[in-house]
Structure 1
Amino acid sequence: MKVITFDRFKPGVTLETIQPFLPEEVANVWRLWKAGIVRENYARSDETGVVIVWEVESVEEAKRYIDDFPLSKKGFLEWTYVPVMAPLPLEALMDPSVDVAEPYDRTK
Protein backbone atom coordinates (compact mmCIF):
# COMPACT_ATOMS: atom_id res chain seq x y z
CA MET A 1 0.00 0.00 0.00
CA LYS A 2 1.15 3.51 -0.68
CA VAL A 3 0.74 6.19 1.96
CA ILE A 4 1.44 9.82 1.19
CA THR A 5 2.43 11.91 4.18
CA PHE A 6 3.21 15.57 4.61
CA ASP A 7 4.28 17.61 7.58
CA ARG A 8 3.81 21.09 8.99
CA PHE A 9 5.74 22.84 11.71
CA LYS A 10 3.88 23.13 14.99
CA PRO A 11 3.31 26.72 16.12
CA GLY A 12 6.54 28.39 17.19
CA VAL A 13 8.83 25.97 15.33
CA THR A 14 11.14 27.54 12.74
CA LEU A 15 13.90 26.36 10.44
CA GLU A 16 16.36 27.55 13.06
CA THR A 17 14.64 25.32 15.64
CA ILE A 18 15.08 22.16 13.58
CA GLN A 19 18.47 22.92 12.00
CA PRO A 20 20.56 21.01 14.58
CA PHE A 21 18.50 17.86 14.03
CA LEU A 22 18.40 17.83 10.22
CA PRO A 23 21.47 15.61 9.59
CA GLU A 24 19.99 12.81 11.71
CA GLU A 25 16.51 13.35 10.19
CA VAL A 26 17.80 13.17 6.62
CA ALA A 27 19.95 10.10 7.38
CA ASN A 28 16.90 8.34 8.80
CA VAL A 29 14.84 9.01 5.66
CA TRP A 30 17.77 7.98 3.44
CA ARG A 31 18.08 4.61 5.22
CA LEU A 32 14.36 3.98 4.72
CA TRP A 33 14.64 5.04 1.07
CA LYS A 34 17.48 2.58 0.51
CA ALA A 35 15.36 -0.14 2.15
CA GLY A 36 12.50 0.53 -0.30
CA ILE A 37 10.15 1.73 2.43
CA VAL A 38 10.29 5.38 1.40
CA ARG A 39 9.55 5.49 -2.33
CA GLU A 40 9.61 9.25 -2.93
CA ASN A 41 10.62 12.30 -0.93
CA TYR A 42 9.96 15.92 -1.83
CA ALA A 43 10.34 19.38 -0.39
CA ARG A 44 7.08 21.28 -0.48
CA SER A 45 7.00 24.27 -2.79
CA ASP A 46 3.99 25.94 -1.16
CA GLU A 47 5.35 26.08 2.39
CA THR A 48 8.14 24.68 4.54
CA GLY A 49 7.88 20.92 4.88
CA VAL A 50 8.25 17.60 3.14
CA VAL A 51 6.09 15.06 1.33
CA ILE A 52 7.02 11.40 1.68
CA VAL A 53 5.50 8.53 -0.29
CA TRP A 54 5.72 5.24 1.61
CA GLU A 55 5.44 1.63 0.50
CA VAL A 56 4.02 0.03 3.66
CA GLU A 57 1.31 -2.38 4.77
CA SER A 58 -0.81 0.24 6.54
CA VAL A 59 -1.10 3.84 7.71
CA GLU A 60 -0.19 2.57 11.17
CA GLU A 61 3.13 1.28 9.84
CA ALA A 62 3.90 4.67 8.25
CA LYS A 63 3.05 6.30 11.60
CA ARG A 64 5.52 4.01 13.41
CA TYR A 65 8.31 5.10 11.06
CA ILE A 66 7.40 8.76 11.35
CA ASP A 67 7.15 8.55 15.15
CA ASP A 68 10.78 7.38 15.07
CA PHE A 69 11.99 10.48 13.18
CA PRO A 70 14.10 12.82 15.32
CA LEU A 71 11.90 15.86 14.57
CA SER A 72 8.78 13.87 15.45
CA LYS A 73 10.35 12.66 18.70
CA LYS A 74 11.08 16.31 19.57
CA GLY A 75 7.43 17.21 18.93
CA PHE A 76 8.23 19.76 16.21
CA LEU A 77 5.93 18.46 13.46
CA GLU A 78 2.32 17.67 12.70
CA TRP A 79 1.82 14.95 10.06
CA THR A 80 -1.04 14.20 7.69
CA TYR A 81 -1.47 10.66 6.33
CA VAL A 82 -3.22 9.90 3.03
CA PRO A 83 -3.55 6.22 2.05
CA VAL A 84 -3.89 5.78 -1.71
CA MET A 85 -4.61 2.92 -4.07
CA ALA A 86 -4.79 2.34 -7.79
CA PRO A 87 -7.89 3.87 -9.34
CA LEU A 88 -10.77 1.76 -10.50
CA PRO A 89 -9.92 -0.24 -13.60
CA LEU A 90 -10.43 2.75 -15.87
CA GLU A 91 -10.60 0.62 -19.00
CA ALA A 92 -13.77 -0.98 -17.66
CA LEU A 93 -15.43 2.43 -17.69
CA MET A 94 -14.49 3.12 -21.31
CA ASP A 95 -16.52 2.45 -24.39
CA PRO A 96 -15.18 -0.72 -26.07
CA SER A 97 -14.48 1.28 -29.19
CA VAL A 98 -11.97 3.49 -27.37
CA ASP A 99 -8.42 2.58 -28.44
CA VAL A 100 -6.32 1.51 -25.43
CA ALA A 101 -3.86 -0.67 -27.38
CA GLU A 102 -0.10 -0.33 -27.56
CA PRO A 103 1.84 1.80 -28.17
CA TYR A 104 0.51 3.60 -25.11
CA ASP A 105 2.77 6.64 -25.52
CA ARG A 106 2.07 8.00 -28.94
CA THR A 107 3.86 11.30 -28.51
CA LYS A 108 7.17 9.92 -29.73
Structure 2
Amino acid sequence: MKILAIEHDTPAATPEAFTEKLKQAEALKVWELCQSDALREIYFRADQHAAVLMLECPTLDAARDLLNSLPLVRAGLIEFELIPLRAYPGFSRLFAPGLG
Protein backbone atom coordinates (compact mmCIF):
# COMPACT_ATOMS: atom_id res chain seq x y z
CA MET A 1 0.00 0.00 0.00
CA LYS A 2 1.30 3.45 -0.88
CA ILE A 3 1.14 5.87 2.02
CA LEU A 4 1.88 9.58 1.98
CA ALA A 5 3.40 10.77 5.27
CA ILE A 6 3.48 14.48 6.06
CA GLU A 7 5.65 15.68 8.93
CA HIS A 8 4.38 18.08 11.58
CA ASP A 9 6.41 19.56 14.41
CA THR A 10 5.19 18.92 17.94
CA PRO A 11 5.06 21.64 20.62
CA ALA A 12 8.39 20.30 21.95
CA ALA A 13 10.11 21.13 18.65
CA THR A 14 12.26 24.08 19.66
CA PRO A 15 15.33 24.90 17.56
CA GLU A 16 17.58 23.90 20.48
CA ALA A 17 16.00 20.42 20.64
CA PHE A 18 17.25 19.53 17.15
CA THR A 19 20.85 18.79 18.11
CA GLU A 20 23.45 17.87 15.49
CA LYS A 21 23.76 14.40 17.02
CA LEU A 22 19.99 13.85 16.77
CA LYS A 23 19.84 15.17 13.19
CA GLN A 24 22.71 12.88 12.19
CA ALA A 25 20.96 9.88 13.78
CA GLU A 26 17.80 10.84 11.87
CA ALA A 27 19.65 11.00 8.55
CA LEU A 28 21.22 7.58 9.18
CA LYS A 29 17.85 6.00 10.02
CA VAL A 30 16.23 7.58 6.94
CA TRP A 31 19.03 6.14 4.79
CA GLU A 32 18.47 2.70 6.35
CA LEU A 33 14.73 2.92 5.64
CA CYS A 34 15.45 3.89 2.04
CA GLN A 35 17.70 0.85 1.73
CA SER A 36 14.93 -1.37 3.13
CA ASP A 37 12.68 -0.23 0.25
CA ALA A 38 9.83 0.77 2.60
CA LEU A 39 10.71 4.47 2.31
CA ARG A 40 10.45 5.06 -1.43
CA GLU A 41 10.81 8.85 -1.66
CA ILE A 42 11.55 11.74 0.68
CA TYR A 43 11.28 15.47 0.10
CA PHE A 44 11.11 18.75 1.97
CA ARG A 45 8.20 21.03 1.21
CA ALA A 46 9.22 24.11 -0.75
CA ASP A 47 6.90 26.38 1.25
CA GLN A 48 7.93 25.32 4.78
CA HIS A 49 10.45 23.17 6.61
CA ALA A 50 8.57 19.86 6.75
CA ALA A 51 9.35 16.46 5.28
CA VAL A 52 7.04 14.57 2.95
CA LEU A 53 7.62 10.83 2.59
CA MET A 54 6.22 8.22 0.23
CA LEU A 55 6.07 4.84 1.94
CA GLU A 56 5.31 1.34 0.69
CA CYS A 57 3.95 -0.68 3.62
CA PRO A 58 1.40 -3.49 3.94
CA THR A 59 -0.76 -1.53 6.41
CA LEU A 60 -1.11 1.87 8.07
CA ASP A 61 0.02 0.27 11.34
CA ALA A 62 3.20 -0.93 9.65
CA ALA A 63 3.81 2.61 8.37
CA ARG A 64 3.29 4.01 11.87
CA ASP A 65 5.75 1.48 13.29
CA LEU A 66 8.30 2.40 10.64
CA LEU A 67 7.97 6.14 11.33
CA ASN A 68 8.08 5.57 15.09
CA SER A 69 11.60 4.19 14.60
CA LEU A 70 12.86 7.63 13.54
CA PRO A 71 14.96 9.38 16.20
CA LEU A 72 13.07 12.69 15.86
CA VAL A 73 9.76 10.88 16.38
CA ARG A 74 11.15 8.95 19.36
CA ALA A 75 12.39 12.26 20.83
CA GLY A 76 8.86 13.67 20.54
CA LEU A 77 9.89 16.47 18.17
CA ILE A 78 7.94 15.46 15.06
CA GLU A 79 4.91 13.39 14.15
CA PHE A 80 3.37 12.33 10.87
CA GLU A 81 -0.03 12.58 9.24
CA LEU A 82 -0.57 9.36 7.25
CA ILE A 83 -2.66 9.31 4.09
CA PRO A 84 -3.33 5.92 2.42
CA LEU A 85 -3.40 6.12 -1.38
CA ARG A 86 -4.96 4.02 -4.10
CA ALA A 87 -4.61 4.10 -7.86
CA TYR A 88 -6.72 6.59 -9.78
CA PRO A 89 -9.59 4.64 -11.41
CA GLY A 90 -10.86 7.41 -13.71
CA PHE A 91 -9.05 6.37 -16.87
CA SER A 92 -11.50 3.50 -17.25
CA ARG A 93 -14.05 6.14 -18.29
CA LEU A 94 -12.00 6.77 -21.42
CA PHE A 95 -11.73 3.18 -22.55
CA ALA A 96 -14.72 1.34 -21.09
CA PRO A 97 -17.68 3.69 -20.55
CA GLY A 98 -19.88 2.63 -17.68
CA LEU A 99 -17.07 0.91 -15.74
CA GLY A 100 -15.69 3.98 -13.95
Partner of 2:2: 2
With 63-72 and 4-13 compared, the bigger mean Cα shift is at 4-13
Q: Structure 1: state its 5+ residue gaps.
A: 97-108
Q: How many pairs does the alignment contain?
A: 95
Q: Structure 2: state its 5+ residue gaps.
A: none
Deviation at 1:28, TM superposition (A): 0.5
Q: Is the Cα–Cα contact under 8 Å of residues 5 and 79 in structure 1 kept in the other structure?
A: yes
Structure 1 pair 43–19 and aligned structure 2 pair: CA distance change class (3 A)? farther
With 37-46 and 16-25 compared, the bigger mean Cα shift is at 16-25
Deviation at 1:8, TM superposition (A): 1.4
Over aligned residue pairs, what C-alpha RMSD do you find? 1.6
Percent of matched pairs sharing the same residue:
24
Partner of 2:58: 57
In the TM superposition, structure 1's runs of 4+ consecutive aligned residues that sit over 4 Å from their partners are none
Distance in 1, Cα, partners of 2:59 & 2:19:
30
Give TM-score scaled by structure 1 length: 0.79
Q: Is the Cα–Cα contact under 8 Å of residues 26 and 71 in structure 2 kept in the other structure?
A: yes
Distance in 2, Cα, partners of 1:73 & 1:12:
12
Give TM-score scaled by structure 2 length: 0.85
Q: Is the Cα–Cα contact under 8 Å of residues 12 and 76 in structure 2 kept in the other structure?
A: no
Name the larger-Rg structure: 1
Partner of 1:75: 76
